Structure 1
Amino acid sequence: MKILVPVKRVIDYNVKVRVKSDGSGVDLANVKMSMNPFDEIAVEEAVRLKEKGIATEVVAVSIGVAKSEDALRTALAMGADRAILITAADDVHTDIEPLAVAKLLDKVVEVEEPGLVIAGKQAIDNDMNATGQMLAALLGWGQATSASALEIADGTARVTREVDGGLQVVEVKLPAIVTCDLRLNEPRYASLPNIMKAKKKPLEKMTPADYGVDVTPRLELVKTDEPAARAAGQIVGSVDELISKLKEAGVA
């Protein structure tokens, strides 16, 4: 079984994000970029399935700017067999919308014919949490989102999800789409020897035109603002005072 893993290049999660002074977007000048953490988990899970003999090949694909090759090389160093880079933008500030990404992945799936697509549940830059669901709809495949555990057996993916009331277990027939939550696994660090080996692994470069997909943005970014500063806390002397303060804040 072949597994396809979409990965995205985002601002490193350790970096404090800064908004441009004119509010036109996020400042990316001299900012460290890395693979989306949820996608790292997806790559790790795919590689583990290959190590168990369940999967025969792991293919990583990234859609974005040419520099997204860095994220793909990381995936290759973690254990992916080959990679596909779809250069869909020239400007690092251009974020390809989830629907356009899903349409491109739909075409990649058509060519690669994987038995399973494992993706991060969302990217930490826009938190859309939509691409996996859109891809499932386009393909007509079953989907299991926000997986905290995954078992593959007898042509079925058994996925455990964390929900408000506890744990939910769902089963979907393969081929299917599975998106990963943080607790699915702990991604491995790419060792220096594997990083060197990754440079020799095949990386195919494509464009949206090769797949006949239009990635023209349908959304317009109007303004970007910093989150509001957190207000100072207050100490109350009684339950009645607490209730009064909550009512003033419109909470109770």
Structure 2
Amino acid sequence: MAEGDVSSVEMFNAIIDENGSGILEFWIMLLTVALVCTKYILLPSQPLDESTNPSMMRKKNIFITVAYILAIILFVTYINFNNYKSVCSVGKGDDLSSDAMYFIVMISVFPWLSILGICFAILNVLPGWKAPFSNTFGYFITMFLLGGQHMVNEILNISDTKDENKAIQLVLENNFGNLINDYTPANIEEFRKLGSDVGAAKLKTKPYSSAVKTYNNIAKLILLKDYIAEGIWFVLMGLFVINLTNNYVGTQACL
């Protein structure tokens, strides 16, 4: 490399030094978006199909989440290492003592692993905790921005304007949110029965057998709604950990 040239690693380190914890918050959000997108992309094309193994889907999601947490820990360790060197090693050379390395690892691994790990465990044991975000942010993104509402209207035949159906259509339209928010990864297979449950004979709603693709596309959006809620929890917990450890490396660590 010619003299005066700056490597990409050096440029990245300079950005970290200049922005402090702000760069960490940005990457936490970016990695979380990647987590949600990865889980959605890797969903089977027909999650409602009888041949789909729900247990395998859960195991895949656990593996992806563990990889996400490990990626965050590695990135946080790297940032804390650079912050420590820039703040605490002025005039001491590039080598860090074993005590300093131990401190960096502990401040990077323990808080993040414990907080995110506990959060992930609680969300699996008490999935209802995801409902506030799943039924608001997740619902808005999937049903309005990604066209989920149009798909459900297609199944429910809400566009039918016959006088005899108007009352039922009005009830369905007014309770559309409750209808979709009743479904979660725990009972997603029940979505196959949506057409018959709301009265196929009266509204001529489409059963699963005649709209397989539409049913499965909606099911994927319902699962995405849940992943978005999980991601929001991880971001909130990440910001909480950042606030706890934000100034510690630059103050207590150098004492």
The TM-score with structure 2 as length reference comes to: 0.24
The TM-score with structure 1 as length reference comes to: 0.24
Structure scoring higher RCO (CA < 8 A, sep ≥ 6) equals 2
Structure with a larger share of its residues in strand: 1
Larger Rg: 1 or 2?
A: 2
